[in-house]
Each structure stands twice: as structure tokens, then as C-alpha cells.
């Protein structure tokens, strides 16, 4: 589904922050993206959600060669990807409902369908009573769940999460990971960037480990990778 | 057509007042409303001025094109007794009324002469104290040719040696040329207003785009295309310019009504009738509507152009 082949990325005329990255992500797989700060995790995530094009190499996303796609085509491809950011990036002026509804409104779904889907999903993540609440009035955990709901409302083929447990205590963090696991069992391909090695070992999914801009594949221990 | 209008109205209004981007919270919104309302105010006044000038020109043209005045200088009358003058005028009038292109010819009475000069010299019978020419008002049924003018002048000089015919042509041409120049100035001012309005809206859209860069990036990541994002700016620009347009238009109407009220007191004497027709008043309504459309289109084009430059 996603194929990286000798991918390199540099910003402007600076040095390459990613070098010769090659890996495949199959449909329904679950990977952790690990590595120290500055190793290139955010840059790799950026490539995965097509926020940037690679400087070199062949990147295939959903069977489309990225360098052959126009800007508008890339925008449409992004609709297959859900992203959960470390800092949530919720829109503070919108209610929880409207934040989650955003991806559906972008693709022009009817309001009635949006209302039904968003209400159901927010109830599923335990925020059925907070539809009209705005992010500044919610706790970190609640914001995180809204961010996840927003990322998955459009049933993305690929779900990316950047340090999703970074702002949460361990117990809530693990519950969140089980939620991702559940989505993965439903067929969503998942990549979670994290520093939390305890969680990585506990769940046992394979790792894409970045070190100084290069990638090392570490097989999983749960037999699903 | 109705469905299109309905769709446009829904687009302008939005299903609700929600924007995906916090555009209503952007600073500078009040300034844009103020600038736009001033633009609509000035544009409305200028369009009204343009209409008034057109009305004045039309009235002058219609009123004077089939009018002519025969002027007999006071020097021709000074050596003649009242009876002789009357006899000469009666014969001249009869002769003139016999000419095909003339509908009627009539000597202006003393009262009519007094009324003509009253705005400048008052109503204290000054016409009797100063030497004034005698005037014969001629109403025509067709525009005069050079031959007609020559015939009238020949007839007139038989009775009054220095009589001369004024067809108002030269004066009319001068006035029309002046009005045309004023029209160009008015059009130029209108253009400046439109360009200023477009620049203000574009500048405001660009600055809001810069302020909300992160949110715009987020929408792009979620798969929003440029048109979707631009439509948010377009709609907000429409809202702001509707408020601004309404305010500016209302102020302009009040100003015009005041001007009409003040003008009605003096126009009989000094000013030509410049009142607008019902259709022209109705046409003024389109100024704020055009303002709203210009603001929406400017915002959309500005944002689309800026977004296209993003990676």
C-alpha cells in the first residue's frame, strides 16, 4: 500500500535529514516509529501524510507515485490519511462536534450523515456528553480523544499518530493504544511515533527505528507484524 | 435562476455562522468594515452624481435643442417710441410665425424679463433702470439649418438692425463638453474607489491567511482543497462587506436626501433640476450589492493565488 524506496529528504539547501529510507507498509499493518529526538521521525511522518515530497527516491502512496501527482492530486490522496498530532491541533473556536466533523465537511458529506457519524463516534470515545464543548474547556485526555476521533471519522486507510501518549499518564496512554489496536483490527494501517519503549515492548508491534536519518527495521514480537 | 440565487444566498449565509478557520476572531476585521463602508458610501455618492449629471445634460439637451432666442440690443430700441417698438415687434413676430421650422415666437414680457434676472439682481424693478436687450423666445419644430438661421436673421434685421439669433448651440456644446469632462473625473474616482476596495479586501485576506497559516496547513493535511479554504475567506468577506455595504449605503442615502432637501430650496433659481428618477434611486441599490460581489471575488482570488504558491 505504501512503498518507500531510497527516499531522501532535505529542507532547502541543508543536509539530508532522511537518507536512503526504504520500507513497505502493508494494508492492516501496525508499526511503531521510534528514535531519539531529532532522528527524523517528524520528517518521516511529514512524508507519510504527504505534507512534503521527498527530495529523492520513489515514494508510492496508495499505489500512486508521489512525484507524478499534481498538487491537487496530493490533496485528494491526503483524504486517505488520518493524523493525530502530539499537540492535538484542534481548532479552539470549534466545538468537539465541529472539530470531528471537519474531515467529513471537507469532502462534502451531507449534514445529516455528518451529525449521525460524529455523534456516534464521539459517544464511542466516551465524549457523547461533550459535543458542544470547545477544546479549551476540556482536559488533555479528552482533547486527545477528539483528535483521534477527527483522525478516524473519515475511515482513513492510514492512521498516523505522533507521540499520542506524550501528554497523557501511562494508564490513559495504554487505553489509547488499545483503541488504536482496535482500529487496526478493523483494517486500518497504523503508524505510531513514540518515545515510550515500555509501550512498544508491551504491544510488540514491529518498529521502524530512525537513527541519524537512517531507518532500521525491528520485527515485532506479537506475531502480527 | 431562483435555485442559483438560493444557492448563492446559502453560500453567503452559510448553513450556520461557523467558519472552520477562526476568521471572525481576526484582528483588523473592524478596520476592513470601516474602509469598505466608506468605499460604498463614496461609490454611492459618485454614482448618484453621475446620474444627476446625466439627468442635467439630458434636460439641457431636450430643453434647449428646439429653443432659440432672438436678441434685440437696447441700442436698437433706444431711438424708438413705445408704439413704434410695439408695431415692429408685432410685425417681426408675425413674420417669424410664418416660417415653417418655427412653432411659435413670442416676445418676453417685462415680468418674464424681471423673473429671469431676479436671481442675480433681485426683484426691485431694476430692469427698468438698466438698459436690457429685448428677447423673443422661439420654439422650433426641428433643428435649425444654416439657411433657417440666415432667414430668421434677415427677417429680424429688417426691423432691428442689430438683432441676432442665439440658437444656444455653442453654449450647449460647451456645457456638454464640461459635463463630459466631469463625467470622466467621476468615472476615474469610481475606478480609484474600486481599486482601493479590492486592495483593502486583498490585503486583509492576505494578512488573515498569514495569521491562520497553521490552521490552513491543518485543513490541507485533512484534504481540504484550495477552493474549500478560499470559500471560507470568500464567505467571511461577503459577510463583512454586507455589513459595510449596508452602513455605507445608508449613510450615502441620508447624505443624498439632505443634499436633495437643501438643493430643492435653491435649484429653481440657480441650479438645474438634478433630481434622480425612481429607476436611478433603485439602481443605487446595486452599488452595495456590487461591493459585496467585488469583495467576495477579490478575497477568493487573493487566497487562491496565495495557496497555489504553497508546497
Q: What is the DSSP string of chain A?
A: -EEEEEEEEESTTS-EEEEEEEEEE-TT-EEEEE--TTSSHHHHHHHHTTSS--SEEEEEETTEEGGGS-HHHHHHHGGGEEEE-TT----TTS-HHHHHHHHHHHTT--HHHHHHHHHHHHHHTT-TT-TT--GGGS-HHHHHHHHHHHHHTT--SEEEEESTTTTS-HHHHHHHHHHHHHHHHTT-EEEEE-S-HHHHHHH---EEEEETTEEEEE--SSS--
For residue B53, what pLDDT is reported?
81
For A187, A211, A213, B41, B75, the CA distances from A216, given in Å and listed in that order, are: 25, 8, 10, 67, 117
Residue B47 · residue B284 · CB < 8 Å: yes
For A92, B109, B141, B173, B187, the CA distances from B91, given in Å and listed in that order, are: 94, 16, 21, 32, 51
Most trustworthy range by pLDDT among A162-166, B37-41, B133-137, B158-162: B37-41
pLDDT surpassing 50 at residue A2: yes
For an interface test with B, the pick among A54, A66, A102 (most B C-beta atoms closer than 10 Å) comes out as: A102
CA B262 to chain centre: 17
Q: Across the strands, what pairs with A64?
A: A61
| Mean pLDDT computed over B47-75 | 81
Model confidence at B15, in pLDDT bands (50, 70, 90)? very low
Query: At CA A155, angle to CA A149 and CA A159, rounded to 5?
Result: 70
CA dist A80 and A216 (Å) reads: 26
Phi then psi for residue A2, to 5 deg, are: -130, 130
pLDDT surpassing 70 at residue B124: no
Q: How far is B215 from chain A (nearest CA, A)?
A: 8
For A48, B34, B185, B195, B198, the CA distances from B191, given in Å and listed in that order, are: 49, 19, 10, 6, 11
Q: Across the strands, what pairs with A32?
A: A192, A207
Q: Is B252 left (phi over 0), alpha (psi -120 to 50) or beta?
A: alpha
C-alpha cell at A154: 473519515
For residue B155, what pLDDT is reported?
85
Q: What is the dihedral of CA A132, B215, A105, A63, to 10 degrees?
A: -130
* B214 part of contact set with chain A, CB < 8 Å: yes
CA dist A222 and B182 (Å) reads: 86
Strand ranges in B31-174 using DSSP code E only, listed in sequence order: 67-72, 102-107, 134-140, 164-166
Q: Do A75 and B223 touch (CB under 8 A)?
A: yes
Other Cβ atoms within 10 Å of B84 Cβ, number: 12
Q: What is the pLDDT of residues A176-212, one digit of tens each?
A: 788 888 888 888 999 999 888 888 888 889 999 998 8
Q: Do A89 and B225 touch (CB under 8 A)?
A: no
Smallest Cβ–Cβ distance between A83 and the set B221, B224, B311 belongs to: B221
pLDDT surpassing 70 at residue B26: no
* B25 part of contact set with chain A, CB < 8 Å: yes
Model confidence at B226, in pLDDT bands (50, 70, 90)? very high
Model confidence at B300, in pLDDT bands (50, 70, 90)? very high
Phi then psi for residue A223, to 5 deg, are: 75, 5
pLDDT surpassing 80 at residue A175: no
Q: What is the pLDDT of residues A130-156, one digit of tens each?
A: 999 999 999 888 898 899 899 989 889
C-alpha cell at A22: 526504504
pLDDT surpassing 60 at residue B268: no
CA dist A6 and A14 (Å) reads: 18
Residue B40 · residue B244 · CB < 8 Å: yes
Q: What is the dihedral of CA A49, A55, A57, A61, to 10 degrees?
A: 20
* B16 part of contact set with chain A, CB < 8 Å: no
Cα dihedral sign, A122-A123-A125-A127: positive
Q: Is B77 left (phi over 0), alpha (psi -120 to 50) or beta?
A: alpha
Q: Do A91 and B15 touch (CB under 8 A)?
A: no
Q: Do B218 and A89 touch (CB under 8 A)?
A: yes
For an interface test with A, the pick among B222, B231, B304 (most A C-beta atoms closer than 10 Å) comes out as: B222
Chain A CA closest to residue B24: A93
B5 vs B188 pLDDT, higher one? B188
pLDDT surpassing 90 at residue A96: yes
Q: Do A102 and B215 touch (CB under 8 A)?
A: no
Other Cβ atoms within 10 Å of B275 Cβ, number: 13
% residues pLDDT > 90 (chain B):
23
Q: How far is A171 from chain B (nearest CA, A)?
A: 29
For residue A151, what pLDDT is reported?
92
* B221 part of contact set with chain A, CB < 8 Å: yes
Q: How far is B7 from chain A (nearest CA, A)?
A: 15
Model confidence at B266, in pLDDT bands (50, 70, 90)? low
Interface A-B, measured as beta-carbon pairs within 8 A, has a size of 53
Q: Which letter does DSSP use for residue B25 in this model? A: G
B45 vs A172 pLDDT, higher one? B45
Chain A residues near residue B15 by CB distance under 8 angstroms? 111
| Mean pLDDT computed over B25-49 | 85
For residue A164, what pLDDT is reported?
81
Model confidence at B92, in pLDDT bands (50, 70, 90)? confident
Query: At CA A56, angle to CA A50 and CA A59, rounded to 5?
Result: 45
For residue B144, what pLDDT is reported?
79
For residue B274, what pLDDT is reported?
65
Chain A CA closest to residue B221: A78
For an interface test with B, the pick among A61, A71, A113 (most B C-beta atoms closer than 10 Å) comes out as: A71
Smallest Cβ–Cβ distance between B15 and the set A51, A53, A111 belongs to: A111
Average pLDDT, chain B: 83
For residue B163, what pLDDT is reported?
87
Residue whose C-alpha cell is 442675480: B120
Smallest Cβ–Cβ distance between A91 and the set B20, B224, B225 belongs to: B20
The model's pTM: 0.75
For residue B6, what pLDDT is reported?
59
CA dist B156 and B175 (Å) reads: 28
Average pLDDT, chain A: 88
Closest CA to A71 of B202, B160, B224: B224
For residue B195, what pLDDT is reported?
92
Chain B residues near residue A72 by CB distance under 8 angstroms? 225-226
Phi then psi for residue B26, to 5 deg, are: -70, 140
A173 vs B27 pLDDT, higher one? A173
CA A23 to chain centre: 17
% residues pLDDT > 70 (chain B):
87
For residue B13, what pLDDT is reported?
54
For residue B127, what pLDDT is reported?
63
Reduced to 3 states, what is the DSSP secondary structure of residue B70? strand
Q: How far is A111 from chain B (nearest CA, A)?
A: 9
Q: Do A89 and B214 touch (CB under 8 A)?
A: yes
pLDDT surpassing 90 at residue B247: yes
Q: How far is B232 from chain A (nearest CA, A)?
A: 11
Most trustworthy range by pLDDT among B14-23, B53-62, B63-72, B230-239: B230-239
For residue B77, what pLDDT is reported?
81
For A96, A142, A146, A192, B156, the CA distances from A125, given in Å and listed in that order, are: 12, 9, 8, 19, 104
* B220 part of contact set with chain A, CB < 8 Å: yes
Other Cβ atoms within 10 Å of B211 Cβ, number: 17
Q: What is the dihedral of CA B211, B213, B216, B221, to 10 degrees?
A: -160
Q: Do A78 and B18 touch (CB under 8 A)?
A: no
Amino acid at each position: 500500500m505504501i512503498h518507500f524506496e531510497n527516499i531522501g529528504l532535505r529542507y532547502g539547501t541543508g543536509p539530508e535529514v532522511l537518507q536512503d529510507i526504504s520500507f513497505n507498509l502493508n494494508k492492516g499493518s501496525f508499526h511503531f516509529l521510534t528514535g531519539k529526538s531529532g532522528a527524523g521521525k517528524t520528517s518521516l511522518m511529514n512524508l507519510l501524510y504527504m505534507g512534503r515530497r521527498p527530495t529523492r527516491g520513489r515514494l508510492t502512496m496508495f499505489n500512486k507515485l508521489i512525484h507524478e501527482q499534481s498538487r491537487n492530486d496530493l490533496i485528494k490522496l491526503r483524504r486517505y490519511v488520518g493524523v493525530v498530532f502530539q499537540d492535538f491541533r484542534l481548532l479552539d473556536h470549534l466545538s468537539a462536534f465541529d472539530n470531528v466533523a471537519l474531515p467529513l465537511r471537507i469532502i462534502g458529506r451531507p449534514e445529516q450523515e455528518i451529525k449521525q457519524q460524529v455523534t456516534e463516534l464521539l459517544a464511542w470515545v466516551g465524549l457523547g456528553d461533550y459535543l458542544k464543548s470547545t477544546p479549551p474547556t476540556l482536559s488533555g485526555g479528552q482533547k486527545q480523544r477528539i483528535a483521534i476521533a477527527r483522525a478516524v471519522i473519515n475511515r482513513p486507510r492510514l492512521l498516523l499518530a505522533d507521540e499520542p501518549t506524550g501528554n497523557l499518564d501511562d494508564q490513559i496512554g495504554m487505553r489509547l493504544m488499545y483503541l488504536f489496536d482496535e482500529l487496526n483490527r478493523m483494517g486500518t494501517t497504523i503508524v505510531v511515533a513514540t518515545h515510550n519503549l515500555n509501550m512498544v515492548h508491551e504491544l510488540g508491534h514491529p518498529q521502524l527505528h530512525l537513527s541519524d536519518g537512517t531507518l532500521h527495521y525491528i520485527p515485532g514480537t506479537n506475531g502480527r507484524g | 435562476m431562483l435555485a442559483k440565487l438560493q444557492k448563492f444566498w446559502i453560500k453567503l449565509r452559510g448553513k450556520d455562522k461557523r467558519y472552520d478557520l477562526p476568521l471572525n476572531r481576526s484582528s483588523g476585521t473592524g478596520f476592513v468594515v470601516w474602509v469598505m463602508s466608506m468605499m460604498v458610501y463614496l461609490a454611492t455618492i459618485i454614482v448618484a452624481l453621475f446620474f444627476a449629471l446625466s439627468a442635467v445634460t439630458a434636460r439641457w439637451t431636450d430643453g434647449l435643442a428646439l429653443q432659440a432666442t432672438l436678441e434685440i440690443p437696447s441700442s436698437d430700441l433706444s431711438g424708438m417710441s413705445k408704439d413704434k417698438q410695439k408695431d415692429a415687434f408685432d410685425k417681426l413676430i408675425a413674420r417669424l410665425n410664418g416660417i415653417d421650422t418655427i412653432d411659435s415666437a413670442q416676445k418676453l414680457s417685462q415680468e418674464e424679463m424681471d423673473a429671469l434676472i431676479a436671481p442675480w439682481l433681485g426683484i426691485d424693478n431694476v430692469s427698468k433702470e438698466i438698459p436690457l436687450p429685448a428677447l423673443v423666445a422661439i420654439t422650433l419644430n426641428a433643428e435649425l439649418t444654416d439657411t433657417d438661421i440666415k432667414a430668421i436673421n434677415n427677417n429680424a434685421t429688417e426691423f432691428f438692425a442689430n438683432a441676432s439669433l442665439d440658437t444656444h448651440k455653442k453654449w450647449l456644446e460647451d456645457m456638454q463638453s464640461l459635463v463630459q469632462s466631469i463625467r470622466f473625473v467621476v468615472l476615474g474616482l469610481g475606478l480609484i474607489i474600486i481599486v482601493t476596495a479590492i486592495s483593502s479586501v486583498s490585503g486583509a485576506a492576505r494578512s488573515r491567511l498569514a495569521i491562520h497559516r497553521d490552521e490552513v496547513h491543518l485543513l490541507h493535511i485533512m484534504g481540504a482543497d484550495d477552493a474549500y479554504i478560499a470559500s471560507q475567506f470568500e464567505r467571511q468577506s461577503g459577510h463583512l462587506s454586507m455589513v459595510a455595504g449596508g452602513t455605507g449605503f445608508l449613510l450615502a442615502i441620508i447624505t443624498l436626501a439632505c443634499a436633495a432637501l437643501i438643493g430643492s430650496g435653491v435649484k429653481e433659481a440657480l441650479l438645474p433640476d438634478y433630481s434622480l428618477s425612481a429607476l436611478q434611486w433603485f439602481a443605487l441599490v446595486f452599488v452595495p450589492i456590487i461591493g459585496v460581489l467585488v469583495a467576495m471575488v477579490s478575497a477568493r482570488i487573493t487566497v487562491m493565488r496565495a495557496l497555489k504558491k504553497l508546497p
